[in-house]
Amino acid sequence: MRLIHVVGARPNFVKMAPLYQELEKRSAFKQTILHTGQHFDPEMYQVFFDQFGLPKPEIELGITGGSVNDQLARMLSAIDKILSNLEPSMIVVYGDVTSTLAAALVAVRYSHLLVHVEAGLRSFDNSMPEEINRIVVDRLAHRLYVTEQSGIDHLSTEGVDPGKVVFAGNIMIDSLYRYLSKTSPVTDIEPRLSDINGYGVLTLHRPGNVDNELRLRAIMDGIARVAQQFPIVMPIHPRTRGRCNEFGIALESIEGLILRDPLSYIDMLSLVKNASVVLTDSGGVQEETAALSIPCVTIRDNTERPATITCGANRLVAPHAEAIAGAVAEALKPGSDMSVPPLWDGNTASRIADDLLQQVWAMEHACA
């Protein structure tokens, strides 16, 4: 039985790797990786596959650049041709990126079994393209694997058949636990942190934060205040660098801010696991810090991952300098209680693989 994993953005690979490896242990599937090219960094591309022990994708569409709608249109056409030729039995999509939506829309046209890993998350902010993607894909999917209780609740409210929904846990955390032992001392990643007592990590890339000049300036003013207390390492996203250049925001002039090019997964994990605090607008980083019990300050008005807040690791903060500095101070107070959310235990991929095998058994017997 042919199963196609559709991936396109960096977090997709982190989620796919443990499931691909678990399914390789079982003989029921012929697995194919389809990479749309949505996020493609030639310098990081091979490193990613080497680090995760994944084969090079059999299908590479090379669809990169352009607007979201332009990418979506090109992906729909390209994926349609692929699926019509290969006729897979199952399509697995991950998260909420444009590649996920494109594959879902095509898969249902051919009546392929559509599997959504990381289903049910909701920010209730329809200005985010990812929110629209989540809602549409969850409506189309035949099997929905949920990371936290809020996902179960949202899908129930939306009328999704509960028989399609499985609380499997967080597959991102499978990768995190698997590769923790391969991390390096932080000074190997960033020598400027030698003889430093504590540091922070900053990731910033969401259009809502970086495409608005006033908002981006306010955020970086807050970061400048925090960086007066301890260094902040910022692996800078190309979109963020471009906007800072466009708006004349001189990041290099912020004392205590250490700028880096984007890092590989394991190098980034090396930085995060030893940080005193992490500031981010990334969904995945919120989850990783929660699993590691690292204080996290999320610079957003909302989060689709409320389990990271209820477990005590994460807090939301508005994009204002004083608010950011205050949230960091609050996060660093001693005695904060943190716990890891349920089923974020490193065994999610195994649970999903077992359930998919049951789906295969049911399909085969239904056709017998």
What pLDDT does residue 40 have? 66
Instruction: Say if 180 falls within a structural domain.
Output: no
- Average pLDDT on 75-86 reads 95
Query: Picking from 39-53, 80-94, 169-183, which range would have the lowest pLDDT averaged per residue?
Result: 39-53
Instruction: Say if 177 falls within a structural domain.
Output: no
Instruction: Say if 175 falls within a structural domain.
Output: no
Phi-psi sector, 29: left (phi>0), alpha (psi -120 to 50), beta: beta
- Average pLDDT on 344-365 reads 88
Instruction: Say if 178 falls within a structural domain.
Output: no
Q: Does residue 118 sit in the same domain as residue 141? A: yes
pLDDT > 70: percent of the chain: 96
Instruction: Say if 174 falls within a structural domain.
Output: no
What pLDDT does residue 364 have? 63
Q: Where are the alpha helices (DSSP H) in the chain?
A: 10-24, 42-52, 68-86, 98-109, 129-140, 149-157, 171-179, 186-189, 207-210, 213-227, 238-247, 265-273, 283-292, 307-310, 321-331, 348-367
With 90 as the cut, is the pLDDT of residue 255 above it?
yes
- Average pLDDT on 192-220 reads 95
More confident residue, 65 or 312: 312
Ranked by mean pLDDT, the top range of 56-65, 80-89, 94-103, 193-202 is: 94-103
Q: Does residue 287 sit in the same domain as residue 361? A: no
Instruction: Say if 338 falls within a structural domain.
Output: no
Contact (Cβ atoms closer than 8 angstroms) between residue 293 and residue 215: no
CATH of the domain at 309: 3.40.50.2000
pLDDT digits 0-9 by tens, 120-157: 999 999 999 999 999 999 999 999 999 999 999 999 99
Q: Does residue 260 sit in the same domain as residue 322? A: yes
Q: Does residue 110 sit in the same domain as residue 158? A: yes
> What are the tokens at 126?
């329809």
Q: Does residue 49 sit in the same domain as residue 158? A: yes
> What are the tokens at 263?
């890092």
What pLDDT does residue 363 have? 67
Q: Does residue 134 sit in the same domain as residue 204? A: no
With 90 as the cut, is the pLDDT of residue 39 above it?
no
Three-state DSSP at 213 gives helix
Distance (Å) of CA 4 to CA 92, 104, 266: 6, 12, 26
Q: Give the mean pLDDT of the chain.
A: 94
What pLDDT does residue 25 have? 93
Domain span holding position 14: 2-169+344-367
- Average pLDDT on 2-24 reads 95
Q: Does residue 203 sit in the same domain as residue 292? A: yes
Query: Picking from 107-111, 179-183, 272-276, 326-330, which range would have the lowest pLDDT averaged per residue?
Result: 107-111
Q: Which residues, 6 or more positions from 129, have their beta carbon under 8 angstroms from its beta carbon? A: 68, 98
The arrangement of strands across the sheet holding 200-202 comes to: 257-260, 232-235, 200-202, 277-280, 296-299, 314-317
- Average pLDDT on 260-275 reads 95
What pLDDT does residue 367 have? 55
Angle in degrees, CA 126, 175, 99, rounded to 5? 40
- Average pLDDT on 181-208 reads 94
What pLDDT does residue 43 have? 61
Q: Does residue 94 sit in the same domain as residue 125? A: yes
DSSP string, 154-172: HHHHTT--GGGEEE---HH
With 90 as the cut, is the pLDDT of residue 362 above it?
no
Instruction: Say if 284 falls within a structural domain.
Output: yes
What pLDDT does residue 360 have? 78
Query: In which band, very low, low, confident or very high, does the pLDDT at 301 lie, cut at 50, 70 and 90?
Result: very high
CB atoms within 10 A of CB 43: 9
> What are the tokens at 331?
């996060």
Reported pTM: 0.94
* Count of structural domains, the chain: 2
Instruction: Say if 181 falls within a structural domain.
Output: no
What pLDDT does residue 254 have? 97
Contact (Cβ atoms closer than 8 angstroms) between residue 308 and residue 296: yes
Q: Does residue 267 sit in the same domain as residue 354? A: no
With 60 as the cut, is the pLDDT of residue 242 above it?
yes
What pLDDT does residue 365 have? 54
Residues labelled catalytic: 205
Pairing state of beta strands 277-280 and 59-60?
unpaired
Q: Does residue 94 sit in the same domain as residue 224? A: no
- Average pLDDT on 51-78 reads 93
Q: Does residue 352 sit in the same domain as residue 249? A: no
Q: Does residue 313 sit in the same domain as residue 355? A: no
Query: In which band, very low, low, confident or very high, does the pLDDT at 44 lie, cut at 50, 70 and 90?
Result: low
Three-state DSSP at 34 gives strand
Query: In which band, very low, low, confident or very high, does the pLDDT at 336 lie, cut at 50, 70 and 90?
Result: confident
